[in-house]
Structure 1
Amino acid sequence: MKFGSKIAASTATAALAIGGVTLMAAPAQADLITLCSGHGGAVTLPTDLKVPAGASCFLDGTVIQGKVTVEGDANLHVVGGQIDGGVTVSKGGYFDASDTEVAGDVVNTGSYGTYLEKGTSVAGLSAVPAEGADNDGFVFVVGSSASSVDASVGEVYVTDSRLGGVTAEGVEYVDIFDSVVRGDLSVTDAAAGGILADSEVIGDATYTGGNGPVAVGAGAEAGFASSLNYIDGDLTVTGVSGGVYVDNNIVGGDLTTSDNSPTAQVGDNNRVRGGIVTQEVALRALAAEVTAEFEAHEADLEETVEELRAQTIADALEAGPAF
């Protein structure tokens, strides 16, 4: 799970065109909006900020003392910034933040996607559908933190991050690697299942309905998943079609697997403090095609973000200074 290194390099290369003058101003006024189409540097904006429909904005070290709106089909990439309000990403829009603090929520409404990396922190992070949107958007969190994640559309991929509770219903998949969830993890009716590997859940972990594969722990696979999951509460996987794999978990509560088709494969390396209620067959090695499917999630999103970031920066630099 090496995601982030190649993308971070593209940011460092492009930062050379950004100015460095800091402007201090009075607190934001609700009726003032700064439009951004182009690039901006280490200034403090005492206003809300909006990226107009179809535009690209690249900000390096910018402080925004209001809220941010990314309009339809617009792109915003922020490096080393601060946003005192929330971020709304509209239909087809893209939000990309590296080493940035967002005090409010990031809300994706039919957006193309949001990518957070390198210590970025946000409050709530959500993805909801919008009428007429493609609704295949993504929420991608790498080495960052969010107080909660709530998604009802698209792809959810998290690695090396710290989250509050995670709730996902009707999404494409939820993949969580090498992360801590300080709350419940609930995945319902995911079209392509998901994986929980090398992670800690300080609450219950529940997978209900939808298609698989669903892999919780899933056995130690060289270069893929190498350590235990720790789940403080109950682990429940029910009503999943397409394959369920459960192994290498420490469960503080009950372990329940039932009504899955095919029957869940449950390994011998689960340590369960509570009761065990399972319909199971012995765990075979996690099939190569299953690991390949999870690995393809990462590879596809990495490629998408690399292209989006490069295009956003190029378009913003071509547009010239934003303010």
Structure 2
Amino acid sequence: MPRRTVTKLATVSAVVAGSLLVVAPSAHADLVTHCVGTGGAVTVPNDLLVPAGKSCTLTGTTITGNVSVAAGANLVVVGGNVSGEVRVAADGYLDATDTTIGGQVVLAAGGYGAFLRDARTGAVTVRPKGSATIDSFLFVEGSTIAGNVVVGAGEVRLDRNTQVERNVNSTGTYYTDVHDSFVDGTLSVLNSSTGSVVCGSAVRGRATFAGNLGGVQLGPNGTLDSCASGGYWGRDVSISSTTGGVTVDDNIIDGQLALTANDPVAQVAANNRIRGGVTGDQAGATTTSRTARAAAAADREDAGEQRAQARRASAVQEAAAAGVARL
């Protein structure tokens, strides 16, 4: 099993300068503010742009328009408020903590990644990788996403009481994992190259897992990750055409569990409570060794929050060294 890591997340390539400009009118606001450096608790009365290859760190800033993070740029926002949407270009990075984004967040094809912690936003979209050399990531912790989450590339992890108020649709990602979180709509994970893990979470709508190469783990005692409990599923759960193994352990499914064309056949533990019964091929569950589970958990820990924190810390340090931007 390949390690679930973001191999490039620890490196920050942006060089931060200490200036900020107001330039020509845009289609969405009278002016566009260019941010390079650090900014504080002020209001930007128009759109904001982080220029290509630059970094912007904002604390307590209100932006009344939209935000664009250009190619290779970094935006770190703490305690901010964005009235509009945030769009991140190829090789760009967004890091938002304790921040409200009124519109959607869109990570372009080849975008570096997005990290949301204790934030609120509209829909979140990660474009398919395409021919880009960078495979993106979306890490979300303790946040509310008011719209759909649609991801088509990279590493995806929803964690720590994150709530998605509509649907989660994942196609062609490296992996898509949901831990200790809530999905009020449907969950669909298709064609993930290293599989999907759902632990300690609730999914109110139908759940579909199909064509995942690295396996599917619903609940503890699987080979992909270490977790303490299974989850609640409000409708039918379907797992099909999966290689790498399927484990279903300690779940409540208020519907039917359908298992089709999985190789090897799915392992379904006796401790699951499945209201509509199980259809398809299944086998009794086996217990994964504690060592294997611990190793899997360490992979995700390295891949997720620690690496994102390293990038954030580097960006903040460089922006601070550049001085205060004139917002």
Q: TM-score, normalised by structure 2?
A: 0.85
Q: Does the aligned pair in 2 maintain the 1:43–1:63 contact within 8 Å?
A: yes
Q: Does the aligned pair in 2 maintain the 1:251–1:271 contact within 8 Å?
A: yes
Deviation sequence 1:164-191 (CA, Å, 0-9, x none)? 3110000000111111110000000000
Deviation sequence 1:172-224 (CA, Å, 0-9, x none)? 00111111110000000000001000110011111101212310113499x94
Residue 318 of structure 1 aligns to a residue in which SS? helix
Q: Does the aligned pair in 1 maintain the 2:248–2:266 contact within 8 Å?
A: yes
Deviation sequence 1:72-129 (CA, Å, 0-9, x none)? 1110000000000000010000000000000000000021100001x20010011013
Relative contact order, higher structure (CA 8 A, sep 6+):
2
- Taking the TM superposition and a 5 Å limit, the aligned residue runs for 1:146-165 are 146-147=145-146, 148-160=148-160, 161-163=162-164, 164-165=166-167
- Give the structure 1 partner of residue 49 of structure 2: 50
- Give the structure 2 partner of residue 286 of structure 1: 288
- Give the structure 2 partner of residue 231 of structure 1: 233
Q: Does the aligned pair in 2 maintain the 1:213–1:290 contact within 8 Å?
A: no
- Give the structure 1 partner of residue 181 of structure 2: 179
- Give the structure 1 partner of residue 312 of structure 2: 309
Q: More deviation in 63-72 or 262-271?
A: 262-271
- Give the structure 2 partner of residue 139 of structure 1: 138
Deviation at 1:302, TM superposition (A): 2.4
Deviation at 1:48, TM superposition (A): 0.3
- Give the structure 1 partner of residue 302 of structure 2: 299
Q: Distance in 1 between matches of 2:285 and 2:169?
A: 28
Deviation at 1:276, TM superposition (A): 1.5
Residue 242 of structure 1 aligns to a residue in which SS? coil
Deviation sequence 1:28-50 (CA, Å, 0-9, x none)? 96231000000000000101000
For structure 2, the residue ranges without an aligned partner over 5 or more in a row are 1-26
For structure 1, the residue ranges without an aligned partner over 5 or more in a row are 1-27
- Give the structure 2 partner of residue 23 of structure 1: none
Q: Distance in 2 between matches of 1:209 and 1:220?
A: 18
Deviation sequence 1:214-244 (CA, Å, 0-9, x none)? 10113499x9422331000011111000111
Deviation at 1:137, TM superposition (A): 0.9
- Give the structure 1 partner of residue 105 of structure 2: 106
Q: Distance in 1 between matches of 2:314 and 2:273?
A: 48
Match of 1:246 among 241, 245, 248: 248
Q: Does the aligned pair in 2 maintain the 1:220–1:227 contact within 8 Å?
A: no
Deviation at 1:291, TM superposition (A): 5.7
Q: More deviation in 61-70 or 123-132?
A: 123-132
Matched residue type, 1:152: G
Matched residue type, 1:95: L
- Give the structure 1 partner of residue 119 of structure 2: 120
Q: 1:320 to 1:133 in 2, by over 3 A?
A: farther
- Taking the TM superposition and a 5 Å limit, the aligned residue runs for 1:6-155 are 30-109=29-108, 110-117=110-117, 119-129=118-128, 132-147=131-146, 148-155=148-155
Q: Distance in 2 between matches of 1:105 and 1:307?
A: 25
Seq. identity, %: 39
Matched residue count: 294
Q: Distance in 2 between matches of 1:150 and 1:74?
A: 23
Q: Does the aligned pair in 1 maintain the 2:215–2:246 contact within 8 Å?
A: yes
Q: CA RMSD in A?
A: 1.9
Q: Distance in 1 between matches of 2:126 and 2:222?
A: 32
Matched residue type, 1:282: G
- Taking the TM superposition and a 5 Å limit, the aligned residue runs for 1:201-240 are 201-219=203-221, 224-240=226-242
Residue 190 of structure 1 aligns to a residue in which SS? coil
Q: Distance in 2 between matches of 1:171 and 1:124?
A: 18
Q: Distance in 2 between matches of 1:210 and 1:228?
A: 20
Q: 1:130 to 1:153 in 2, by over 3 A?
A: closer
Q: Distance in 2 between matches of 1:105 and 1:116?
A: 13
Residue 122 of structure 2 aligns to a residue in which SS? strand
Matched residue type, 1:41: G
Q: Distance in 2 between matches of 1:209 and 1:182?
A: 24
Q: Does the aligned pair in 1 maintain the 2:226–2:293 contact within 8 Å?
A: no
Deviation at 1:273, TM superposition (A): 1.1
Q: 1:295 to 1:235 in 2, by over 3 A?
A: farther
Q: Distance in 2 between matches of 1:206 and 1:218?
A: 19
